[in-house]
Amino acid sequence: MYAKFHSIGAFVPSKVLSNADLEKMVDTSDEWILKRTGIKERRIASENEVTSDMATIASKIAIKRAGLEKEDIDLVVCATVTPDYFNMPSTACVISDKLGIKNVQAFDISAACSGFVYALSVAKAFIESGMKKHVLIIGAEKFSSLVDYTDRSTCILFGDGAGSAVISATEDKNEAIIDIHASADGSYADFLVTPAPGAVHPVSQKVIDEGLNFVQMKGNETFKLAVRTLTKDVKEILAKNKIDAKDIPHFVPHQANYRIIKAVGDALKMTEEQVVLTVGKYGNTSAASIPMAINDIYESGRLKKGELMLLDTFGGGLTWASALLPFAGESL
C-alpha cells in the first residue's frame, strides 16, 4: 500500500496587516521589510477566530475536494505551535469535534514551521503500515497570539492561516508520495523559542512582566542556518531519488523570507516559474505556510494532477524537512 497526496484546502482570515500598518506600530519601514523579507502584508485572525476555526474551514474544503465524507477520515493530525489550548485538549481533537468526526485517533504535532511536512510523514507511515486509509493532516496557526507587536524584529514576519490535506491509501505507485526527509537538532532550541507558558516557566507575574509568552528569535543566526540546511537537504533528497531540479514544476518552500527561498532556489538553479511564492501576501504562517502555498497554486490552476512537488521547510526546534511527491488530486 502507498500513500498519495489526495487533496488540498486552505483558509486565510480577512483582516490584512500591511507594512504601512506596522510603520504606525513600531520603528520600521515598508522599504526595510520588503527588502529584508519580501513581505508586503500578512493576515491576522480576529479575536474570536482561533486556530481550530481556520483549520476546520480548510479541512472541510480538503475533504470535499478528495470526494470523501467526514466519516471516511480515520486519523486527524494537526501541526501547530499556536494550539487553541496549552496543552489539553489537542487542537486536532477540537477540529475533529467541529468537523463532526467521531471516534477516530486525533493528535497534534509540535514541530513549528516544519509541522506540516512532519504530519505528512506520519500520515505516510500510518497508511503504508495499513493502519489507516484517509488521514486528514492540517497546518494551522494563529501566530499573532504569540507575537509581541512592540518587537520589530519578529512582528513584521508572522501571519495567521490554515491549510489541510487528505492523504489516502493507493495501490498505484505512480501517484505515491516518493520520499520524505524529516530531521531535528535540539541544540539550536534557543534560536526560536516561546519561553512560557510551560513546565520551565509556568504562568506567573514574571512571565507577564518579562513578556516570556512571546516568540523570541535569533533572526540572523536562524537565517544563515536555514539557507545552509535547506540547500543541503533538498539537494540530498533529489540526488537520492535521482530527480533533477529542472524536472520539478513546483518547488514549494516554507514561506519565511524571500531571501532564504531565493538562495535555496538559486542553489538548485530553479527558474522563477518553478518557485512558489506567497510570502509577500501572507508572511510566515509557520505550519500553515506550505499547505497554504500548495492551495494557492491549486486554486490558480497551476497545479495539475500528477505534477511533481518538492517541499522544504525549516523551523523552531530546530526542525527541518523536505518531501518529493506528485499531486494526486483532480486538477481544478
The label of the residue with cell 505534477 reads 307
- Asked if residue 188 binds ligand COA (CB under 6 A), the reply is no
78 labelled catalytic: no
Q: Are 251 and 274 in contact (CB under 8 A)?
A: yes
Q: Choosing from 6, 78, 254, 295, which is the catalytic residue?
A: 254
What's the number of CA atoms in the CB half-sphere (13 Å) around residue 159? Answer: 31
Choose, by CB under 6 A, the member of 55, 75, 77, 156 that binds ligand COA.
Answer: 156
For residue 25, give the DSSP letter: T
Pairing of strands 105-109, 192-193: unpaired
6 labelled catalytic: no
Q: How far apart are CA 220 and CA 211, in angstroms?
A: 21
- Asked if residue 83 binds ligand COA (CB under 6 A), the reply is no
Query: DSSP letters along 304-331, please?
Result: -TT-EEEEEEEETTTEEEEEEEEB-S--
The stretch among 195-203, 212-220, 232-240, 299-307 that binds ligand COA (CB under 6 A) is 212-220
Residue 245: Cβ within 10 Å count: 17
Strand partners, 214: none
- Asked if residue 152 binds ligand COA (CB under 6 A), the reply is yes
- Asked if residue 288 binds ligand COA (CB under 6 A), the reply is no
- Asked if residue 268 binds ligand COA (CB under 6 A), the reply is no
Helical H segments across the chain, by residue range: 19-23, 30-37, 51-65, 91-99, 115-128, 152-155, 205-210, 219-240, 258-267, 279-282, 289-299
CB of 158 to ligand COA, least distance (A): 8
Give the per-residue contact string, 41-80, with ligand COA (x = CB under 6 A; - = no): ----------------------------------------
The residue among 205 and 220 lying less far from ligand COA, judged by its C-beta, is: 220
Choose, by CB under 6 A, the member of 5, 126, 251, 314 that binds ligand COA.
Answer: 314
CB of 217 to ligand COA, least distance (A): 6
241 labelled catalytic: no
CB of 320 to ligand COA, least distance (A): 9
- Asked if residue 257 binds ligand COA (CB under 6 A), the reply is yes
Q: Choosing from 78, 93, 113, 155, which is the catalytic residue?
A: 113
- Asked if residue 315 binds ligand COA (CB under 6 A), the reply is yes
CB of 192 to ligand COA, least distance (A): 6
The label of the residue with cell 506550505 reads 290
How many residues interact with ligand COA (rule CB under 6 A)?
Answer: 20
- Asked if residue 256 binds ligand COA (CB under 6 A), the reply is yes
Which of 2, 62, 1, 5 lies closest to 306, judged by CA? 5
